[in-house]
Amino acid sequence: MNRTATALVDTHCPYCSLQCGMRLGAAASGPSPVEIVERPDFPVNRGALCGKGHSAAAVLAPGVRLTAPLVRDTKDGPLREADWDEALDRAASAMARTGARHGRNAVGVFGGGGLTNEKAYLLGKFARVALRTANIDYNGRFCMSSAAAAHRNAFGLDRGLPFPLADVARTGCLVLVGSNLADTMPPAVRHIRELRDNGGTLVVVDPRRTRTADLADLHLAPAPGTDLALALGLLHLVVAGGHVDEDFVASRTTGWEAARTAATAHWPERVEAITGVPVADMRRAVELFTAAGSGMVLTARGPEQQSKGVDTVGAWINLCLATGRAGRPFSGYGCLTGQGNGQGGREHGQKADQLPGYRSITDPAARAHVAEVWGVDPADLPGPGVSAYELLDSLGTEGGVRTLLLMGSNPVVSAPNARHVTSRIAALDTLIVCDVVLSETAALADVVLPSAQWAEETGTMTNLEGRVILRRAAVPPAGRARTDLRILRGLAGRLGHEKGFPADPEEVFTELRAASAGGQADYSGIDYARIEAEDGVFWPCPAGVGGGGAQGPAGVGGAVHPGTPRLFLDRFATPDGRARFADVSHRPAGEEPDAEYPLYLTTGRVLAQYQSGAQTRRTPELNRAAPGSFVELHPRLAARLGVAEGERLTLTSRRGRATAPARITAAIRPDTVFMPFHWPGEGRANSLTHDALDPQSRMPEFKVCAVRAEKAPPAGTGTAATTAGTVPVEAAR
């Protein structure tokens, strides 16, 4: 085993968007080449790590991760080891062949929210320069695209948090909507505890009484899909109670009259009938929020992963604007980004409609700027492609994507209506997957390219605050694994692009800085040395008032820009500097319960697993804590179904079935069931979820669909109830 890490190396956790600071050193014993050491100086987590962070090195162990390329000789044949030349030749030939036969857009690229900024940037460049395809998107579309769209609508700029996370502890009242931080981002809970210690209050909005809700002064439990009505009802009470900050509304916003009219139509009793939240609790929430000297609303996947997610987030932003809780110290709206680089991953070119620097791909000036950096004709850049789910839905179809390069994502488990998505993946002419493990999706591939892991490569990430941070490699890639930058360089060269695809991350970042210069997400004043010296730099951070482009952090003759920890204190990023209210009204979810499917299903995460579980399910410590899927349901519903704790329960939607043990608790509404989405097989929650899309963000409706429940026979009886809803990985071929 190669144990070359001798000194402690500062880096960051490979999981969520907190990007907690940690240090890596050589492991004295055990299967992993590194050991994880706390890093108390990093301000986001101050040394604290959750179980996923503490055990992250386990995925580096031999036998857990991919260390050699794999190819499939026939569609029905097994994967076998190959050398890199054979694997890259096969992948590049398939892309070229598909483009020649079916057109450039028949080759697609699907990225991931865990890729470094350098990899996300080069992947977007690879799609648009080497492949010249419009069809690139990424799984971050499933994460916070609705909040991103609502941010742009209201503020003119999308950054998950417009303030440092530490500001949460200094606000007067925090309203946390659809987030279970205690399970999804445990180190962030210290900021909530400090908020309470400082005399602040916490309101949690969630259909379940989670560990986070247990910390709250007030818990509101609306029916899934009714968060929009609840936000409008709270705004109604703000207006009725005389709590509108009229000076702020008049001086710093537009669109208030339409928003007030919409709120007026959502009187408390009507909202109680829609949401199930008592009027008295709504009044108490407004009292807590408006009585404090400052306030924040933070949303997460709950209100966002809906077919009306943009409108729902817009309604919560309206609550902040009407009460003057935006663009002021320790007040504002923010989104808790989920994936490790969900923020940076969309800023620099993975999204179908964006170019680096958060530029629109339809803006002629943006196209000209990026084309100049890339050394191509702007006319050769493709236009916008389709969103992530629409791209997956097109796989293998006439006029759709026929060959797909997939990097750092596992849609067989993570996509909505996953049975359908799996069938579409199986219909591809060629699937090429770059990943660190043989995920359920990689197991379907024709070519599997083993990627280096976070401890084996250097690169930047952008956390939920907009803080650009640096991961440093501690050990070389294991076996024959290669960095994704090196893989992209190998593919680009075989497609006739020998130049423009460097494998050195710092060289890529230098180019990214130039491409982002002048854009909303301007990184041109940031470099690796500065990130290390300052514990990260907040964008936007232009190169300097004296000009100089991306030649150095200060440009040429210009002062060093300090970065922007807090946005909107002076003006919003709209043309007139004013925030815009959203004119929104409640509407039903894409699918509501009925006589045939009488229950709401909502999905989410558990403490010991992460996303599709591709890495955490390979960590023994985490698997012992969370060994498999389950169905959470209320005791009254369990009694009606005749199911006891631990007995198998089958949920059925219009799209498929899933079966898992029952977990009975009074912490969930009697009309709602909950499943975590980390597992494949018969317990795959996304066999059930709805693929209805938000009309603006194209976010699928993961958080609400209609299901029925029935007690399932014991495991191993071979009945349809125990096997429906699954597509065995190899059988899909």
> Would residue 322 count as lying in a domain?
yes
> Would residue 249 count as lying in a domain?
yes
Residue 731, pLDDT above cutoff 90: no
Specify whether 713 is located in the same domain as 675.
Answer: yes
Specify whether 322 is located in the same domain as 248.
Answer: yes
Reported as a pLDDT band with limits 50, 70 and 90, residue 3 is: very low
Tokens representing residue 96 in the block: 């070229």
Contact between 258 and 584 (Cβ < 8 Å): no
Q: Which of 76-85, 139-148, 161-170, 495-504 has the lowest mean pLDDT?
A: 139-148
pLDDT at residue number 144: 84
pLDDT at residue number 554: 45
> Would residue 540 count as lying in a domain?
no
> Would residue 592 count as lying in a domain?
no
pLDDT at residue number 30: 83
Specify whether 312 is located in the same domain as 173.
Answer: yes
Residue 725, pLDDT above cutoff 50: no
Residue that is last in its domain, among 495, 518, 545: 495
Specify whether 304 is located in the same domain as 362.
Answer: no
Specify whether 327 is located in the same domain as 379.
Answer: no
Specify whether 297 is located in the same domain as 372.
Answer: no
Q: What is the DSSP letter of 52?
A: H
Mean pLDDT for the stretch of residues 198-219 = 97
Alpha helical stretches, state H, 324-363: 342-347
Specify whether 646 is located in the same domain as 714.
Answer: yes
How far, in Å, CA of 240 to CA of 733, rounded? 60
The model scores a pTM over 0.85: yes
Q: What is the CATH number of the domain that holds 42?
A: 2.20.25
pLDDT tens digit sequence for 406-428: 999 999 999 999 999 999 999 99
pLDDT at residue number 550: 39
> Would residue 550 count as lying in a domain?
no
Residue 716, pLDDT above cutoff 80: no
Specify whether 127 is located in the same domain as 151.
Answer: no
pLDDT at residue number 2: 45
How far, in Å, CA of 393 to CA of 320, rounded? 37
pLDDT at residue number 242: 98
pLDDT tens digit sequence for 632-686: 999 999 999 999 999 999 999 999 999 999 999 999 999 999 999 999 999 999 9
Alpha helical stretches, state H, 458-615: 484-494, 505-516, 528-534
> Would residue 589 count as lying in a domain?
no
pLDDT at residue number 337: 87
Closest CA to 479 of 64, 86, 119: 64
Q: What is the CATH number of the domain that holds 91?
A: 3.40.50.740
> Would residue 121 count as lying in a domain?
yes
How far, in Å, CA of 689 to CA of 600, rounded? 11
Mean pLDDT for the stretch of residues 438-463 = 97
Specify whether 180 is located in the same domain as 236.
Answer: yes
How far, in Å, CA of 146 to CA of 150, rounded? 6
Segment (H or E) for 89: helix 84-102
Token pair 């071929």 is at which residue?
733
Mean pLDDT for the stretch of residues 10-39 = 93
Q: What is the CATH number of the domain that holds 187?
A: 3.40.228.10
Specify whether 261 is located in the same domain as 377.
Answer: no
At residue 480, what are phi and psi to the nearest 5 degrees? Answer: -105, 15
Specify whether 364 is located in the same domain as 466.
Answer: yes
pLDDT tens digit sequence for 467-518: 999 999 999 999 999 999 999 999 999 999 999 999 999 999 999 999 999 9
Number of domains in the chain: 4
> Would residue 401 count as lying in a domain?
yes
Mean pLDDT for the stretch of residues 79-98 = 98
Mean pLDDT for the stretch of residues 534-544 = 95
pLDDT at residue number 558: 61
Mean pLDDT for the stretch of residues 117-127 = 98
Residue that is last in its domain, among 453, 473, 495: 495
Residue 214, pLDDT above cutoff 80: yes
Reported as a pLDDT band with limits 50, 70 and 90, residue 6 is: low
Mean pLDDT for the stretch of residues 430-437 = 97
How far, in Å, CA of 219 to CA of 204, rounded? 5
Reported as a pLDDT band with limits 50, 70 and 90, residue 19 is: very high
State the burial class of residue 63 (Cβ atoms within 10 Å of its Cβ: 0-12, 13-18, 19+).
exposed
- For residue 635, the enclosing domain spans 599-723
Contact between 316 and 285 (Cβ < 8 Å): no
Q: What is the percent of the chain where pLDDT is above 70?
A: 95
Reported as a pLDDT band with limits 50, 70 and 90, residue 111 is: very high
Q: What is the CATH number of the domain that holds 664?
A: 2.40.40.20
Residue that is last in its domain, among 314, 336, 358: 336
pLDDT at residue number 545: 54
pLDDT at residue number 62: 85
How far, in Å, CA of 338 to CA of 671, rounded? 27
Specify whether 301 is located in the same domain as 347.
Answer: no
How far, in Å, CA of 700 to CA of 689, rounded? 9
Residue 689, pLDDT above cutoff 70: yes
